[in-house]
Homo-oligomer: A and B are copies of this chain.
Amino acid sequence: MANKLSSSEIAVQMSAVPHWSRTGDLIERTFTFGDFLASMRFVNRVAVEAERTQHHPDILVKYNRVTLGYSTHDAGGLTEKDFGAALAADAASVS
């Protein structure tokens, strides 16, 4: 199981994902696309990665905007899994 990160470890990880914001045990980013279908293509790429890693974000789709939220519930905080998933989502958003 991934270990819960300390505040200083989180600060280091956050610097690698500048488009993400942290609220407590959650990191979030809203992505903007051209239309609903582009949003759905992104969501499906994220879903494949979520199943592969067994780490699932909360996903909110509002037409051309998709908000992802990651937290590691069973660790009770943020872990490396959350930041790895955030980096993967960033990459998937431009592919």
Annotate A30-47 by CB proximity to B: 1 below 8 A, 0 otherwise.
Answer: 000000110010011001
Residues of chain B contacted by A63 (CB below 8 angstroms) = 56
Q: Please give me the residue from chain B that is nearest to A59 by CB atom.
A: B61
Contact B36 A40 (CB under 8 A): no
Give 20 pairs: A residue, B residue, CB < 8 Å, sorted on A.
A36-B47, A36-B50, A36-B51, A36-B56, A37-B47, A37-B51, A40-B44, A40-B47, A43-B43, A43-B61, A44-B44, A56-B63, A58-B60, A58-B61, A58-B62, A59-B59, A59-B60, A59-B61, A60-B60, A60-B61
**A44-82 contacts to B (CB < 8 Å):** 44, 47, 50-51, 56, 58-63
